[in-house]
Amino acid sequence: MTFEAKTSFEPFRIKSIEPIGLISKEQRQRAMAAAGYNIFNLRAEDILIDLQTDSGTTAMSAEQWSGMLRGDESYSGSRSFFKFREVFSDISGFEHIFPTHQGRAAEHILFTALIASSKRKDLVIPSNVHFDTTRANIEINGMEARDLLIAEGRQPMLDFPFKGNLDTQKLKALIAEVGADRIPVCMVTITNNAGGGQPVSMQNIREISAICREAKIPFFIDACRFAENAMFIKLREPGYADKTPREIARELFSYADGCTVSAKKDGMVNMGGILAMNNEALAERCRNLMVVSEGFPTYGGLAGYDLEALAVGLNEVLDENYLRYRLGQCEYLGDKLLARRIPIVRPTGGHAVFIDAGAMLPHIPALQYPAWALSVYLYELAGIRTCEIGSMLFAKIDENGKETAAPYELLRLALPRRVYTQAHLDYVAEAVAYAAAHKNEIRGMRIDYQAPVLRHFTARLSWIDEREAA
């Protein structure tokens, strides 16, 4: 007889713990009112379970913490840099590897270097979906960011294995429309954050690479969640079931000319980023820019101990048991919500579960921000912090201040790596189910103050009175 356990469990045990915000509902209501009904303004110590982001919130391992003591803090040529470089070179195969202080710094340096070397000024950068900071770094440099996600990726409820894929026909059409000399680089984001971590298939990456090579356009991967994407390929794409996540990651990177990485995700650290590439001339320009804004190219805004922790984290993240647990954790929470008839984006991605608050709270109009209202309610009810991805974030506002709602009203529950246990997720599912059962208690919200740009960070709101709503 063999024992085949049906219980899934965290593939680690806990050595060091920290308190979570066990305060009363009344205290939370007061904290929320003081925060202007904006979860960004809360004090983190007043939060019980923080699902605001998976970025920089990872719990490091004993190996990482002990590695930090071995960090070499030399200004240049630190031993920790060479250790980090060796590890990432083994995974990615890229020739030139620079650490940066976080992902957006790598993007900034890459795009600045690309512009400097381009004869054209009217540049367009395609991607499946550019992350906000990538888009901002492109637009601030006067270039255009173009999202070319496949149609399946835009249908939240559609079950499709690789909803992060880039539409290669659209890429070919874009090259034909604007000409390759206006496209200094083509990017692909793995996994696609905008859908909660929807993966991109190896087949898609191979095709993008072939199109770019033929048109002589450099192809870069935004590889923040490369290990989660590799594991999805192993589980879902024919021909990869017997390959290790490391082998899959190596193959992924082999089709690209470089990558930008926020190490705060699959780097398993709380701060850091990576910029890597093969082209010598481009690397030379990046190296020069590095010195101006990030620091000497062997530390790039990080301490030696950060580089040690990153070197260890990059190996730990590729452990198959860890990745199975990681993707399983998101699926577990997603399945629990589905079992309670909560509408969520299907299939669950690699780092988050998205609740369709528009469908869950049909009595709240989009421009009374149902997902935002749900985020406030869940905090007051159960101390859970989530993140709105709906009209507060993406409504279009014309010159007269008139708003047009975003296409979806989603609430992101992002899971920090190795931080919360299955019991924490059970608690979250129970709280969301309670909210759904008492949805008539949740009212719409109105904005009392907003900044002209990125309003969600600082906005102040209030509940709409029932009489007003009627």
Return residues touching ligand F0G (CB under 6 A).
53, 55, 102-104, 131, 133-134, 189, 193, 222, 224, 262, 264, 273
User: What is the nearest approach in angstroms of ligand F0G to the Cβ of residue 15?
Assistant: 27
Smallest distance, ligand F0G to C-beta of residue 225, A: 7
Nearer to ligand F0G, 428 or 436 (CB): 428
Letter string b/e over residues 384-410, b meaning 16 or more CB atoms within 10 A of that residue's CB: bbbbbbbbbbbbeeeeeeeeebbebbb
In the complex, what is the shortest distance from the CB of residue 42 to ligand F0G, in angstroms, rounded to a whole number?
Answer: 16
Nearer to ligand F0G, 175 or 372 (CB): 372
DSSP β-bridge partners for residue 289: none
CB of 192 to ligand F0G, least distance (A): 8
Instruction: Tell me which residue has tokens 């079992």.
Output: 339
Q: Which tokens belong to 60?
A: 């490091």
Nearer to ligand F0G by Cβ, of 115 and 393: the residue is: 393
* Shortest distance (Å) from residue 57 CB to ligand F0G: 9
Smallest Cα–Cα separation from 408: which of 431, 383, 388, 386?
388
Is the separation of the CB atoms in 163 and 193 below 8 Å? no
> Whose Cβ is closer to ligand F0G: residue 368's or residue 386's?
386
Task: State which residue, 133 or 450, has the beta carbon closest to ligand F0G.
Answer: 133
Strands 445-449 and 384-385: unpaired
Q: Which of 48/188 has CB closer to ligand F0G?
A: 188
> Whole-number minimum distance, CB 391 to ligand F0G, in Å?
19
Type of residue found at 386: T
Amino acid sitting at position 195: G
Q: How far is the CB of 440 from ligand F0G (least distance, A)?
A: 31
Closer residue to ligand F0G (CB): 94 or 182? 94
- Can you tell me the distance from the alpha carbon of 404 to that of 357, in angstroms, rounded to the nearest whole number? 17
292 dihedral zone (left: phi>0; alpha: psi -120 to 50; beta): alpha
Query: Closest separation between CB of residue 226 and ligand F0G, Å?
Result: 10
| Burial of residue 422 (number of CB atoms within 10 Å: 0-12, 13-18, 19+) | middle
- We find the least distance from the C-beta atom of residue 180 to ligand F0G, in angstroms, to be 25
- Considering beta carbons, is residue 85 or 135 the nearer one to ligand F0G? 135
For residue 65, give the H/E element and its range: helix 62-69
Q: How buried is 176 (Cβ within 10 angstroms: 0-12 exposed, 13-18 middle, 19+ buried)?
A: exposed
Residue whose CB is less far from ligand F0G, 221 or 459: 221
**462's tokens:** 């209030």
Q: Quick one: 42 or 367, whose CB is closer to ligand F0G?
A: 42
Q: Which amino acid is at 119?
A: K
- DSSP states of 245-279: HHHHHHHHHHT-SEEEEETTSTT-SSS-EEEEES-
Q: What is the CB-side half-sphere exposure of residue 279 using CA atoms within 13 A?
A: 18
Q: How is residue 92 annotated by DSSP?
A: H
- Give φ, ψ of 342 to 5 degrees: -90, 130
| Of residues 195 and 444, the one with the C-beta less far from ligand F0G | 195
Query: Can you give the C-alpha Rg of the chain in angstroms?
Result: 22
Whole-number minimum distance, CB 439 to ligand F0G, in Å? 27
Residue number, 222 or 436, with CB nearest to ligand F0G: 222
Query: Cβ 319 to ligand F0G, closest distance in Å?
Result: 22
**Residue with smallest beta-carbon separation from ligand F0G:** 103
- As measured in angstroms, the least distance from the Cβ of 264 to ligand F0G is 5
What is the distance between the alpha carbons of residues 87 and 261, in angstroms, rounded to a whole number? 14
Give the torsion sign (CA, 399, 402, 407, 408).
positive
Task: Give me the helices (H) in 363-445, please.
Answer: 370-382, 391-394, 422-437
CB atoms inside a 10 Å sphere around CB 468: 10
